[in-house]
Amino acid sequence: MKFSCNQQILSRALNTVSKAVTIRTTIPILKGILLKASSDNKLTLSASDLDLSIEKNIDINTQEEGSIVVSAKLFGDIVRKLPNEEIYFEMTEKGTVSIKTAKSEFKIVGFPAEEFPNIGEIENVSSQLSFDKEILKKMIKRTSFSASIDESKGIIVGVLLEIEENSFNMIALDGFRMAVAREKMKSEEKKKIIIAAKILNDINKILSETEEDEEIKVVLSTKKAIILLERTKIVIRLMEGEFIKYKEIIPKEQAIKMIIDKREFEESIERASLLAKEGKNNLIKCSVKENLLTINSSSEEGTVKEDIIMEKEGENIEIGFNSKYLMDALKEIEDEKVKMEFKTGTTPCLLKPIEGEEYEYLILPVRISGDF
């Protein structure tokens, strides 16, 4: 194997495929990246942790075909530190890789390409779909933060991707909150798949780094999904199991309804959070009286009170929240105003748009003690 390529182009490609490299593995070869130089002047970089696999190809000048696996961390560190110029690579008979620029030369140990797992093509294709890249990015961002980060919680570390006749939905929850994002989409078949939130976040980063693709093709089977971009292939192992019946959790009728300025509400919670007690679930108290929302928070260091004018329908109410959960949801809402709905001070709160069903956030309240 012998080729040359531009340092910046290679460095960007390494940033993409490195998202599939894991250091927590008992399989040493998975700590590496497979380099494959072909006669059509393409270099394919591949990495896999068996749950997420990524292939990326870039343009190079090939002098000799060949393939080898190199340490992802060492190879990436070397390439990133080299100047932005042409880099020359050559595999020796001893299985080492020579990396040269005008003023630098490295020789690093390589590993046989045959030992690297075959990312492979998908078998038993059940569906082929197309998504607008920006819409998919937005929906991942609106939901993935609500998935559980506790691996022992099983299926809820994943995000449900649900295709219905007239809509594409994404749902995530962790037992304390739930996020639902919806987009109109015509489909001839219904489909449900579950992808780990961590993997979806990595995919979102890759999509943000990709400039040339506006439409994304997705191929599905019972166990895998493949996302196809112009120069990148992402293979995802789907999570197995039944997702929670989320539609049964969403309240149908809420007696108390508020319309509030999103930015003002977000900034008030942010200030109140400065004195929210970590040991008390970042607790803030929201008191709704007539057309005034008062937010209180306290700790050993002091107290804070914030007043916001809003529109209200229904009874007055007092309710406590984990301020982080409210903030996480509000950060992803782009509307100027947002609707909040309650039944009582001890039932879940629903955050939603004033019109439409583009998103819904369900947040469980926190019990307010008498000494608040």
CATH of the domain at 270: 3.10.150.10
Residue ending a domain, choose from 86, 115, 144: 115
- pLDDT per position in the chain (372 positions), as tens? 999 999 999 999 999 999 999 888 889 999 999 999 999 999 999 999 999 999 999 999 999 999 999 999 999 999 999 999 999 999 988 889 999 999 999 999 999 999 998 886 667 777 788 888 999 999 999 999 999 999 999 999 999 999 998 899 999 999 999 999 999 988 778 889 999 999 999 999 999 988 767 888 998 888 899 999 989 999 999 999 999 999 999 998 889 999 999 999 999 999 999 887 666 578 999 999 999 999 999 888 899 999 999 999 999 999 999 999 999 999 999 899 999 999 998 999 999 999 888 999 999 999 877 665
The DSSP 8-state label assigned to residue 245 in this structure reads: -
Note the pLDDT of residue 279.
61
User: Same domain for 198 and 262?
Assistant: no
The residue among 337, 272, 336 whose CA lies nearest residue 304 is 272
Q: Last residue of a domain, which of 247, 268, 301?
A: 247
138, containing H or E segment: helix 133-143
Expressed as residue numbers, the domain containing 296 is 252-363
Using left for φ > 0, alpha for ψ between -120 and 50, and beta otherwise, residue 175 falls in: left
Q: Are residues 303 and 351 in the same domain?
A: yes
Listing DSSP states for 150-199 in one string gives -GGGGGGGEEEEEE-SSEEEEEEE-SSEEEEEEEE---SS-EEEEEEHHH
45 and 135 inside one domain? no
In a domain, 335, yes or no: yes
| 333 falls within a domain | yes
Cα–Cα nearest to 2, from 29, 38, 34: 38
Cβ-defined contacts of 221-228 (< 8 Å, 24+)? 221/122, 221/123, 221/124, 221/125, 221/126, 222/124, 222/126, 224/122, 225/193, 225/195, 226/122, 227/203
- Please state whether 332 falls in left (phi above 0), alpha (psi between -120 and 50) or beta: alpha
One domain, residues 287 and 352: yes
Q: Give the CA-trace dihedral at 185, 336, 271, 258, to 10 degrees.
A: -90
Q: Is 185 among the domain residues? A: yes
Residue 74 within any structural domain of the chain? yes
What would you report as the CA-atom Rg of the chain, rounded to the nearest whole angstrom? Answer: 25
Same domain, yes or no, for 136 and 33? no
Q: How many separate domains does the chain show?
A: 3
Is 226 inside a domain boundary? Answer: yes
Flag whether 370 is in a domain.
Answer: no
Q: Are residues 158 and 178 in the same domain?
A: yes
Cα angle 277-282-284, degrees, rounded to a multiple of 5:
95
Q: Do the beta carbons of residue 351 and residue 275 sit within 8 Å?
A: no
167 and 213 share a domain?
Answer: yes
Do 55 and 136 share a domain, yes or no?
A: no
Q: For residues 204 and 310, state if they share a domain.
A: no
Is 28 part of a structural domain of the chain? yes
In a domain, 372, yes or no: no
CB 273 within 8 A of CB 266: no
> Is the domain of 165 the same as that of 219?
yes
